[in-house]
Chain A
Amino acid sequence: MKQFLRRSPELWLIMPVFMFMAVFYAYPLLNMLAGSFEGDEGGFTLAEYRAIFDSDLYLRVFLRSLEISFWVTLISLLISYPFAYFAVYSKYTLLLFGVVAMSMWLGIIIRSYGWMGVLGDGGVLNYFIGFLTEDTSTWLYNRSAVVIGMVHILMPYMVLPLFAVMRSIPDNVLMASKSLGARNFYTFLKIYVPLSMPGILAGCLLVFIQSIGFYVTPALIGGRSEVMIAQLIELQVRDLLNWPFASALAATLLVITAVSLLICSRFVPLKLLWGGR
């Protein structure tokens, strides 16, 4: 060990970081996971997990979270792909990019709250609909509201990797395709989309794994019938005080996240996800 340290003194620098992470991050997390397997009188049990998978109610919450995440990811992609394309080749690249990057940092609660003012009873949307028809209604507290709010918050995580990949696609490739007689649409489909695929995958992964455990937006504008996993966990900890069950729910959520990450990492270099510009 000593010899090892002498050869690479940088280890002295990173050791305290790892110790810090072990005490304040890894230990609490592993401790919680262990707690989910602990019976009332100690010992090992799977009872908490059985309770999740035996109950229609809990399974439905998991399924709903997956469904909502799927829609959020898909819609984010459908909006972000043309947008990133537009931004890369626009005269206003810096402005467009700046707006998206900035919106990423402007606060999740504030933006979800903003949607209450847009979609609510006396909101902006109803005001404009009021010109067309008398019959206005509230747009909040249903699934579309949750999906819209979450797309708004998570879209930057789709745009940024797409933007990074598209910027690196050389114009020559597209010109070559054109000069060989391919139609624009064909060039786009056969050349452009495959070249931007790493960005698509990275963006989808980032959006999906974040939306699956999302709390603020569904709790604020989702209403009672659109409860997602994170809300269920919060309810178990704060109101029902059922810590082992909450731990089992959290562990299941963690496994879902990890599996999506592992599947995706086979297709896309994880470096692209964070800091891969």
Chain B
Amino acid sequence: MLIENRFLKFLFHLAMWGVIGFIAIPILTVMVMSVNTAASMRFPPSGITLDWYERYFSSGRWMEATFTSLQIGSLTALFTTALATLAAYALSRGTFQGKDIAYILLITPLVVPTMVLAIAFYFFYSSLQMTGNIFAVVLGHTIITFPIVLVTISASLQGVSENLELASRSLGASRLMTFFRIVLPLMVPGMVSGALFSFLLSFDELLIPLFLGGVGIVTLPTQIWSTLHFNYDQTISAVSTVIIVIMAFLLIIAQTVNRGAAKKRGGK
């Protein structure tokens, strides 16, 4: 540490824990508001209640939105992980020309603003009369979440020694067998965390379902969005708290899976 004066050091540490406070405060606020008796966001809470949670779990509309989001998130994770696994393996082991350019092309969706993609997809699926179709939303999310999954799986593949494949091949296994018996099992942790990231991104994404969902497809983000604009109450806080808890849980799983895999490979 380059700060030696003890008083300055104390101030610095205080400020940095303040940053943690800054990160935490809106999230904690939502959690507190979810048990507040008042229907608007008033602090301090006027009383404690679980009404908003009850409203969430007993509302057909919210439950349906939750189910739709889960469905879209899972399908997106499935599609994206399958595609990204193929691409990651080909890019890390292939010897063809233009590999670097292929990689860059495949991660460009990361830098295109989501609004631009949303309207481009909207025009595209409108011309096919496919808005309001769940697959339009899933395909849109597959494009958006593809880069991060590709990066995640590629990174995990870098930790897998190519010698294992060479050993398998030299012992007489075919390419295909080597892939399914050696490479794929070693890729599983990367695929699991990639799939989780894809699911989380899709679960939170507003613009694609807003544009491609038509009137039929209502996801949690679009339901939160319309509730915020039209009939606002603290059900949103309850829903948000549930989502936060589930997401934190999934993230911890992703982290544990990754770490366990790294240990197995001999720590990296």
Q: Do A and B bind each other?
A: yes
Q: Is A202 interfacial (CB 8 A cutoff)? A: no
A114/B43 contact (C-beta < 8 A), A99-B23, A103-B23 known: no
Q: Which of A21, A35, A111, A229 contacts B26 (CB 8 A)?
A: A111
A21-B247 Cα distance, complex, nearest whole Å: 28
Tell me whether A124 and B25 are in contact in the complex, defined as CB-CB below 8 angstroms, given that A184-B2, A209-B111 are known contacts: yes
Structural contact, A35 and B123, CB atoms closer than 8 A: yes
Whether, in the assembled complex, B95 has its beta carbon less than 8 Å from a beta carbon of chain A, the answer is yes
Surface stretch bound by B, among A40-48, A52-60, A230-238? A230-238
B243 near A107 with CB under 8 A, answer yes
Q: List 8 A-B contacts (CB under 8 A).
A: A17-B84, A108-B204, A110-B30, A110-B224, A120-B41, A122-B41, A122-B43, A230-B115
Judged by a CB distance under 8 angstroms, whether B131 is at the interface is no
Chain A residues numbered 141-184 whose CB sits less than 8 Å from any CB in chain B: 152, 155, 174, 184
Please tell me if the beta carbons of A113 and B206 are within 8 angstroms of each other in the complex. Answer: no
Instruction: State in angstroms the CA–CA spacing of A216 and B222 once bound together.
Output: 11
Complex interface: chain B residues within 8 A of A29 (CB): 112, 116-117, 120
Binding site for B on A (CB under 8 A): 4, 7-11, 13-14, 16-18, 20-21, 24-25, 27-29, 31-32, 35, 79, 82-83, 86-87, 89, 96, 98-103, 105-111, 113-118, 120, 122-124, 126-127, 152, 155, 174, 184-185, 187-188, 192, 209-210, 212-216, 220, 229-230, 233-234, 237-238, 243, 246-247, 250, 253-254, 257-258, 261, 270, 274-275, 277
Interface size class of B (residues with CB under 8 A): 35 or more
User: Using a CB-CB cutoff of 8 Å, which residues 1-40 of chain B contact chain A?
Assistant: 1-4, 12-13, 15-16, 19-20, 22-27, 29-30, 33, 40
Chain A residues whose CB sits within 8 angstroms of the CB of B244 once the complex forms: 106-107, 110
Which one of A21, A31, A124 contacts B124 once the chains associate, using CB atoms below 8 Å?
A: A31
Q: How far is the CB of A238 from chain B (nearest CB, A)?
A: 8
> B119 and A233: CB pair below 8 A?
yes
Given the known interface contacts A21-B143, A110-B244, the answer about A13 and B26 at a Cβ–Cβ threshold of 8 Å is no
- CB neighbours of A32 from chain B (8 A): 116, 119-120, 123-124
Assembled-state Cα–Cα distance A122/B43 (Å)? 6
Q: Are A212 and B113 in contact (CB under 8 A)?
A: yes
Contact call A107/B247, Cβ cutoff below 8 A: yes
| Interface contacts beyond A29-B112, A212-B113: sample of 11 additional A-B pairs, CB < 8 Å, sorted by A | A10-B90, A10-B93, A10-B94, A14-B91, A24-B139, A32-B124, A113-B228, A122-B41, A123-B41, A123-B43, A257-B112
Interchain CB contact (< 8 A) of A117 among B41, B148, B155: B41
Residue on A with the closest CB to B94?
A10
- B55, CB-defined interface residue at 8 Å: no
- Closest B residue to A83 by CB, please name it: B19
Q: Are B111 and A257 in contact (CB under 8 A)?
A: yes
B15 CB to nearest chain A CB (Å): 7
8 shortest interchain CB distances as A-B pairs? A213-B113, A114-B26, A10-B94, A28-B124, A14-B90, A122-B42, A117-B41, A230-B115
Query: What separation, in Å, do the CA atoms of A87 and B16 have in the docked complex?
Result: 9
Q: How many A-B residue pairs have CB under 8 A?
A: 225
Is B106 in contact with chain A by the CB < 8 A criterion? yes
Could you tell me if A250 and B83 are in contact, using CB atoms closer than 8 angstroms? no
Q: Is the CB of A110 within 8 A of B240?
A: yes
Minimum CB–CB distance for A1 against chain B, Å: 12
The contact of B224 among A16, A109, A237, by CB within 8 Å, is A109
B56 at the interface (CB under 8 A from A): no
Select which of B1, B43, B89, B124 is within 8 A of A13 by beta carbon.
Answer: B89
B121 interface residue per 8 A CB criterion: yes
Chain B residues, CB < 8 A from A111: 26-27
Q: Tell me whether A89 and B112 are in contact in the complex, defined as CB-CB below 8 angstroms, given that A21-B106, A31-B123, A127-B44 are known contacts.
A: no
Given A10-B93, A16-B86, is A115 in contact with B43 using a C-beta cutoff of 8 Å?
A: no
Whether B248 sits at the interface, judged by CB under 8 Å, is: yes
Distance in Å: Cβ of B221 to nearest Cβ of chain A:
6
Does B87 sit within 8 A of A, measured CB to CB? yes
- Provide the residues of chain A in CB contact with B23, threshold 8 Å: 99-100, 103, 152, 155
In the complex, the answer to whether B113 meets A99 with C-beta atoms within 8 Å is no
A91 to B57, CA, bound (A): 42
Residues in B whose Cβ lies below 8 Å from that of A9: 175
Residue of A28, A126, A152 near B123 (CB, 8 A) is A28
**B-chain residues with CB within 8 Å of residue A214 when the two chains form the complex:** 113
* A82 touches which of B16, B24, B206 (Cβ 8 Å): B16
CB contacts (< 8 Å) of A277 on chain B: these are: 155
